[in-house]
Chains A and B, each alone.
Chain A
């Protein structure tokens, strides 16, 4: 698959699979005080993680056909599948057969049911466990198909975190301010999203929105075509917020990708929410938020090729690029031009950084060589397994995992503040890879104002 040996280290035979718990070869040495200690020592004192790792290794051995699970399901966006409950079942079965994260998925599926049907489902099941809810599910096929699909590409599904659309800090602030205004007038949650990414979100006092609920809500709205046709007002339930409560959602698409959701407890609030939306839309247009959202969608995001070589902490260093990313531009410290088409420095192909306090993650944009959807799904599955192996058993304050197989070098580093998942060229040099992970963390910190929703987070109430 890849005979590139740019790192100059000894080539690793293709069939060799090595799982290493980080010990020597390099230290993740945080340069800012926010990182709690190097990772070598703490993981060495944790022999149980070694066992976990080898279990994963076995799972990984026969996983080459994974990651295309969903392809066999008949998911046609926008199409009505009135009698295709069976196709959903089919997709679920193949998902499970291919070793998907069933427990997580089944819970998500149950919660998605609640989102759609609200507490009436629970009540029906309490009264009659054999209750047949098929008639209640008419037209929801696409919602579940799309949820299954999420479990093959959306890191939010296993990270239990949400991600933001990269935006210049003042732009996100402007959006947050008008949403806050509205939230103060009796709206429980005001959420502005672009596709699956959050532009800004605000909760009324004491109300906090769980990332899992956000995933289900976004999935519901994005997969139900009728929301795009006109503004709507419908009852929903947020299982993590309150599985027994009805909420009402005002949903309006501001453009093809960007949509506003205003959630309330009041069934009478439609016209108030409609007024709120008109106000919000005016402010967003005036302050150019919507056009910057479109720009970011086209060109924003973190590219591994742009990882700064010099890790010195310069706050906001790359933020000018976030909204207006263009290949081959000025910055001398980027090595994109040096390594065209083979990822970032030290063979870095991709990473996901999850901030634990913020409940948010950022993942780098896919670039060569992870550019086919098959490769992306395979990497997704690898991350998913890595995540599971790090979280299944009790995790200490820090933990690392370094593993090499014929597809990747995968590196995971968990501290109290963040989790980093990184994928490298399978031939990557270990010491360099570890160094690179440190740089990724520094980079994320440097640009955190633009990639995360800070401060106004409802999670901080």
Chain B
């Protein structure tokens, strides 16, 4: 979605659209709007990260996502500019894998999440990174997120491995915990700082 110019859209003139528009969909230099997509294996905590960020909540009873959920959240940066994230929280279940392009098409930001206690989920994250490199917007900002950092005792993915991988692929890397809220806001603030500001003065 978000790639059709014919889409009726009454109230926003600069909604993020498609390949041929700026991928960060700036409304003006001070107020950015950006489409962000979360990808990653089922159960790594994508929905929990979003709900922690948008609503400040953590619900440990998991609700496997169907298709994709849409949420938005605006943050203010230190230079008093704002960034509105239009977030697509995709379903990690296998059956939705083929549909991912529907959601990451035209995205200015991709957040690829894995669970630090699950090596398979780290493999899956690498799969998504490759897919985005092939089919995502060329100037997409990518973040690699190791979630469930509160479960240090069960860690299976060494932090160094993830850092190395992120660096090699030009990604921003952070470990988070949706449960304790550790690094959740930092994740989105760091992304906001990295957005290209084509019009900035």
Chain A residue at minimum C-beta to C-beta distance from B15? A271
Interface: B7 (CB within 8 A): yes
Instruction: Answer yes or no: B134 CB below 8 A from chain A CBs.
Output: no
Q: For the A-B complex with A268-B2, A271-B7 known, give 11 more contacts whose Cβ atoms are closer than 8 Å.
A: A136-B93, A137-B95, A138-B42, A220-B66, A225-B64, A226-B47, A229-B69, A234-B91, A249-B67, A269-B1, A269-B7
Chain A at the B interface: mostly helix, strand, loop or mixed?
mixed
Q: Assess whether B95 is in contact with A271, with CB atoms less than 8 Å apart.
A: no
| B10:A275 contact, CB within 8 angstroms | yes
Any A CB within 8 A of the CB of B82: no
Contact between B67 and A232, CB atoms less than 8 A apart? yes
Judge whether B1 and A270 touch: CB under 8 Å: yes
Minimum C-beta distance from B69 to chain A (A): 4
A221 to B26, CA, bound (A): 35
- What residues of chain A lie closer than 8 Å to B70, measured between beta carbons? 230-233, 270, 274
Name the A residues within 8 Å of B3 (CB-CB): 268
Is B65 an interface residue when CB atoms closer than 8 A count as contact?
yes
Residues of B within 8 A of A138 (CB): 42, 64, 93-95
Contact, CB under 8 Å: A80 / B10: no
* CB of B158 within 8 Å of the partner chain: no
Q: Does B61 contact A (CB under 8 A)?
A: yes
B18 to chain A, nearest CB (A): 9
Instruction: Please state if A230 and B71 are interface contacts (CB–CB under 8 Å).
Output: yes
Pairwise interchain contact B64-A139, C-beta atoms closer than 8 A: yes
Task: Give the contacts of A224-244 with B (CB-CB under 8 A).
Answer: 224-235
- Give the residues in chain A near B98, CB-CB below 8 Å: 120
The answer, yes or no, to whether B63 is at the interface (CB within 8 Å) is: yes
Which residue of chain B has its CB nearest to the CB of A137?
A: B95
Known: A270-B70, A272-B7. A233 touches B1 (CB 8 A): yes
CA of A226 to CA of B42, assembled, Å = 13
Can you name 8 A-B pairs with beta carbons within 8 Å? A78-B63, A224-B63, A224-B64, A232-B70, A234-B68, A235-B67, A235-B102, A275-B11
Kindly name the residue among B1, B66, B93 whose own CB sees the greatest number of chain A CB atoms within 10 A.
B66
Known: A270-B70, A271-B2, A275-B9. A226 touches B93 (CB 8 A): no
Give the size range of A's interface with the partner. 35 or more
Nearest 10 A/B pairs, CB to CB: A234-B67, A139-B64, A268-B4, A225-B63, A136-B95, A226-B63, A270-B1, A230-B69, A232-B69, A226-B65
Interface residues of A (CB under 8 A from B): 78-80, 82, 116-117, 120, 135-139, 185, 220, 224-235, 249, 266-272, 274-275
Q: Are A79 and B1 in contact (CB under 8 A)?
A: no
B99 within 8 A of A: yes
Given A117-B95, A226-B47, A231–B69 Cβ distance below 8 Å? yes
A80 touches B62 (CB 8 A): yes
Q: How far is the CA of A185 from the CA of B102 in the complex (A)?
A: 22
When each residue 70-91 of chain B gets 1 if its CB lies under 8 Å from chain A and 0 otherwise, what string results? 1100000000000000000101
Q: What number of B residues sit within 8 Å (CB to CB) of A?
A: 34
Shortest Cβ distance from A232 into B: residue: B69
CB-CB under 8 A from A135, the residues of chain B are 94-95
A225 to chain B: which residues have CB within 8 Å?
63-64
> In the bound complex, how far is the Cα of B91 from the Cα of A137, in angstroms?
13
Q: Cβ of B195 < 8 Å from any Cβ of A?
A: no
Q: How far is the CA of A274 from the CA of B63 in the complex (A)?
A: 22
The answer, among A120, A136, A185, A233, for a CB contact under 8 Å with B67, is A233
Residue of B nearest to A275 (CB): B10
Which residues of the other chain, B, contact A224 by a CB distance below 8 angstroms? 63-64, 66
Complex Cα distance, B51 from A121, in Å, reads 32
Q: Which residues of B contact A227 (CB under 8 A)?
A: 66
Measured between alpha carbons, how far is A188 from B98 in the docked complex, in Å? 24
A226-B66 contact given A235-B99, A268-B7, CB 8 Å threshold: yes
* CB within 8 Å for A139 and B47 given contacts A226-B65, A227-B66, A231-B70: no
Q: Which residues of B contact A274 (CB under 8 A)?
A: 70
Residue in A117, A185, A225 with the greatest tally of chain B CB atoms within 10 Å = A225
Residues of B within 8 A of A230 (CB): 69-71, 89
Chain A residues with CB under 8 Å of B9's CB are 271-272, 275
> From A80, which residue of chain B is reached at the shortest CB distance?
B62
Chain B residues with CB under 8 Å of A137's CB are: 95
The 0/1 profile, CB within 8 Å of A marked 1, for residues 1-40 of chain B is: 1111001111100010000000000000000000000000
Q: Is there contact, CB below 8 Å, between B2 and A232? A: no
Chain A contacts of B61 at CB under 8 A?
78-79
| A120-B95, A268-B7, A271-B15 known; A226-B1 Cβ under 8 A | no
Q: Are B2 and A270 closer than 8 Å at their CB atoms?
A: yes
> Could you tell me the distance in whole angstroms from the C-beta of B118 to the nearest C-beta in chain A?
13
Q: Could you tell me the distance in whole angstroms from the C-beta of A139 to the nearest C-beta in chain B?
A: 4
Pick from B63, B94, B102: contact of A267, CB under 8 Å: B102
Chain B residues contacting A139 (CB-CB under 8 Å) are 42, 64, 93
**Nearest Cβ on chain A to B21's Cβ, whole angstroms:** 14
Q: Which residue in chain A gives the minimum CB-CB distance to B99?
A: A235
A273 to chain B: closest CB distance in Å?
10
Q: Distance (Å) between the CB of B90 and the closest chain A CB?
A: 10
| Least CB separation from A236: chain B residue | B67
Q: Which of B1, B91, B94 contacts A271 (CB 8 A)?
A: B1
Tell me, in angstroms, the Cα distance from A268 to B4 when the chains sit together.
Answer: 6
